[in-house]
Structure 1
């Protein structure tokens, strides 16, 4: 159950990006699950935090090309965070020690 909860906090980028990692982080007693829930929460919040200075620079820009460049930078940051969450969720499930079924 540990790897499922840990990977679910990363995969929540698809359906509940902020809510599910926070809930798992507060409810879980397992240190490994809490660690991954915290990392997943940070990776969900990071693009939003990166957008704050980008929005400031975008609205203070005078040229259309610089506005477009800020949008491209934000899209790259968000795409990298999205891929990071998918890779981490798969990595946790792939490295899990599952009980043997007979």
Structure 2
């Protein structure tokens, strides 16, 4: 059960990226589950935190090429975060006590 809840925190990027890890983190009494829920929440939020400076640079960009570059950079960061969550969810699901 520990692995299932922990991996669902990472896999929630498919169905409830922010809501599910927050609920698990608050409700879980087990440190193992709460720790994975906290890491999953951060990995879901990180691309959007990284988008704040990218949005500033996008707005102040003086050329279309640099603006497109910033958009591509955001999608690369989001894609890497997405892959990280899937890989980490599988790793946690395969762990044994």
Match of 1:4 in 2: 4
Q: Give the TM-score normalised by the residue count of structure 1.
A: 0.93
Moved over 6 A (4+): none
**SS of equivalent to 1:58:** helix
How many residue pairs were aligned?
A: 97
The equivalences for 1:7-86 within 5 A come to: 7-86=7-86
CA separation in 2, counterparts of 1:80 and 1:96?
A: 26
What do the CA deviations read for 1:42-79 (whole angstroms, capped 9, x no partner)? 00000000000000100111100000100111011000
1:93 lines up with 2:89 in the alignment: no
Name the SS of the counterpart of 2:7 in structure 1. Answer: helix
Aligned-partner Cα distance in 1 for 2:23–2:72:
32
What is the Cα-based RMSD across aligned positions, in Å? 0.7
The separation in 2 between residues aligned to 1:87 and 1:38, in whole angstroms, is: 16
TM-score, normalised with respect to structure 2? 0.98
State the partner residue of 1:100: none
Gap runs ≥5 in structure 1: 98-102
1:95 deviates by 1.5
Find the structure with the greater CA-based Rg: 1
